[in-house]
Amino acid sequence: SQTIHQWPATLVQPVGSPLSLECTVEGTSNPNLYWYRQAAGRGLQLLFYSVGIGQISSEVPQNLSASRPQDRQFILSSKKLLLSDSGFYLCAWTRGGVGNSPLHFGNGTRLTVT
């Protein structure tokens, strides 16, 4: 069966510090990978998605970036965090090339920028 791991679960970082959140998927190959952000009490905002190694599509221009160095690894980064980067970050995957495949989410990372 497939599983998705996302870490860390919680993170408190000062303004201006770097960020690295990691997500890995097991039990499948060539997944589509996604990073979402959820502000408190709000809906989901798609940040990045990837259909293959090195292929990243950005939905929202901001100081965040994403990379996919391996088939089942997706990393969210920032060089300098802003207060507005606080939120709940969710990694998700779906089967590549399967039109009706659902999204499967990790447990999320609660990021607080102080």
Q: Applying CB under 8 A, which residues contact other proteins? A: 6, 32, 34, 42-44, 46, 49, 51, 90, 92, 94, 96, 99-108, 110
Quote the least distance from Cβ 26 to other proteins, whole Å: 16
With beta carbons less than 8 A apart as the criterion, state whether 14 and 74 touch.
Answer: no
Query: How far out from the chain centre does Cα 58 lie?
Result: 12
Six-digit token string for 94: 């779906």
Quote the least distance from Cβ 85 to other proteins, whole Å: 19
Q: Which is nearer to other proteins, 8 or 16 (CB)?
A: 8
Q: Which is nearer to other proteins, 63 or 107 (CB)?
A: 107
Compute the chain's Rg from CA coordinates: 13
Quote the least distance from Cβ 63 to other proteins, whole Å: 23
**Distance separating the N- and C-terminal Cα atoms of the chain:** 38
Q: Which is nearer to other proteins, 15 or 39 (CB)?
A: 39
- The dihedral over CA atoms of 70, 25, 101, 103, expressed in degrees to the nearest 10, equals -110
